[in-house]
């Protein structure tokens, strides 16, 4: 087990180094932030001073080495637009995106897995066909259109839900959270549902496919022959056997939701990382763009490592193979 963790951690470190090079070179090859920061009327002397201040006059490899040196010490640089440390800026926006993504994935799992298991257990029933039809609709509807329809129906027509913003927050351990207040939770419902739509459809189809496969297996046949109740079969056999692929999907979808909630946050004016990266791209705020992409890469690496470790805990065969 220790060698497995060490090997995966070493591989993750190599991936982080490679991603830092690709992200840095890719971002610094796009546009010139000086054109955004300075007025077109600025003199060449002023432009040269600003370029030298931010180190943009150095060769690309030297800029990367300085960036890597700061990164090792936990310094992501200073935002060109906000004029504050990038790390502090991202940390101030991270809780909003984190709670929205976690709410969406938990909602999709809590609703999608039971519906998928039922659809796999009773595949010929009318309810199962309705569930599977709704899952196809969830895959097909664009996120931005569904979000706009939610705003149109519940915020404009009914007036029972807020159209955007984060609402009231409560400080817990020095971090502001919305779900701890009634107003904040109300503001989180529409963007959370919008973000959970695609994940919900995926959970339904995965749970349904896994349940159908296991219900036709010899394991279930022998359990029924032994007189075990259907409820026990579903809870102890079906749910346990489909848990491994669902854990993988839960981890990866949580990472993708956290990293790419850009559309939802933009539509609902949710002050998270997605809106921050859109504003940074518009203003060519390179330090924020690089830090965000590095955070996304690191997030997926950590999630993949965590999923591998959960695999070993869930499947005894893997533990025997590692020992």
pLDDT band at 320 (very low <50, low <70, confident <90, very high): low
State the first-to-last Cα distance of the chain, in angstroms, to the nearest integer.
7
Residues 97, 99, 104, 107, Cα dihedral to 10°? 180
Tell me the C-alpha distance between 312 and 11, whole Å. 18
Q: What's phi and psi for 268, nearest 5 deg?
A: -95, 10
- Please identify which residue in the block is written with the tokens 């056997």: 241
Number of C-beta neighbours around residue 113 at 10 A: 23
Mean pLDDT of the chain, nearest integer: 80
User: SS3 of 175, please?
Assistant: strand
DSSP for residue 134: H
Q: What's phi and psi for 300, nearest 5 deg?
A: -70, -35
Tell me the C-alpha distance between 233 and 241, whole Å. 11
Sign of the dihedral through C-alpha 119, 125, 127, 131? positive
Sign of the dihedral through C-alpha 112, 117, 123, 125? negative
Burial label for 102, CB within 10 Å (0-12, 13-18, 19+), is: middle
Residue 269 or residue 258, greater confidence: 269
Taking the whole predicted model, whether its pTM rises above 0.85 is answered as no
Q: What is the DSSP string of 224-280?
A: HHTT--HHHIIIIIIHHHHHHHHHHHHHHHHHHHHH--HHHHHHTT--SHHHHHHHH
Name the nearest CA neighbour of 232 among 249, 219, 217: 219
What pLDDT score does 230 carry? 77
User: SS3 of 55, please?
Assistant: coil
Does the pLDDT at position 112 exceed 80?
A: yes
Could you report the per-residue pLDDT of 197-238, keeping only the tens digit for each?
A: 888 888 888 888 888 888 877 777 887 787 787 778 777 777
Exposure pattern of 209-232 as b/e (b: 16+ CB <10 Å)?
Answer: ebbbebbeeeebeebeeeeeeeee
- Please identify which residue in the block is written with the tokens 């999709």: 108
Residue 121 CB contacts under 8 Å (≥ 6 apart), including other chains: 211, 215, 234, 238
Helix 239-259 to helix 286-314 angle (10° resolution) is 170
Residue 15 or residue 55, greater confidence: 15
Could you report the per-residue pLDDT of 113-169, keeping only the tens digit for each?
A: 889 888 888 888 898 889 988 888 888 888 888 889 999 999 888 888 888 888 888
Could you report the per-residue pLDDT of 39-69, keeping only the tens digit for each?
A: 667 777 777 777 777 777 777 788 788 888 8
């Amino acid at each position: 087990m220790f060698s497995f963790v060490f090997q995966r951690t070493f591989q993750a470190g190599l991936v982080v180094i490679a991603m830092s090079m690709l992200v840095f070179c890719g971002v610094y090859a796009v546009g010139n932030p000086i054109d955004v920061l300075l007025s077109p009327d600025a003199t060449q002397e002023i432009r040269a001073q600003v370029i030298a201040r931010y180190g943009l006059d150095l060769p690309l490899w030297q800029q990367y080495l300085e960036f890597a040196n700061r990164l090792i010490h936990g310094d992501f640089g200073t935002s060109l637009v906000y004029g504050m440390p990038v790390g502090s800026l991202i940390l101030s926006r991270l809780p909003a995106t984190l709670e929205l993504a976690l709410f969406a994935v938990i909602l999709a799992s809590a609703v999608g897995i039971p519906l998928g298991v039922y659809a796999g257990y009773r595949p010929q029933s009318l309810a199962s066909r309705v569930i599977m039809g709704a899952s196809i609709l969830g895959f097909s509807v664009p996120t931005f259109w569904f979000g706009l329809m939610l705003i149109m129906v519940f915020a404009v027509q009914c007036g029972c839900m807020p159209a955007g913003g984060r609402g009231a927050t409560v400080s817990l351990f020095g971090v502001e959270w919305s779900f701890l207040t009634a107003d904040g939770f109300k503001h989180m419902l529409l963007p959370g549902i919008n973000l959970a739509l695609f994940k919900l459809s995926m959970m339904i189809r995965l749970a349904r496919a896994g349940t159908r496969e296991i219900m036709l297996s010899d394991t279930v046949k022998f359990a029924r022959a032994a007189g075990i109740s259907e409820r026990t079969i579903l809870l102890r056999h079906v749910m346990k056997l489909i848990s491994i692929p669902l854990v993988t999907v839960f981890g990866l979808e949580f990472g993708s939701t956290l990293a790419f909630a850009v559309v939802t946050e933009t539509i609902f004016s949710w002050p998270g990382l997605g809106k921050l990266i859109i504003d940074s791209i518009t203003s060519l705020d390179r330090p924020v763009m690089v830090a965000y992409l590095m955070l996304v890469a690191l997030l997926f690496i950590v999630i993949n490592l965590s999923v591998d470790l959960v695999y070993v805990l869930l499947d005894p065969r893997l533990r025997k193979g590692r020992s």
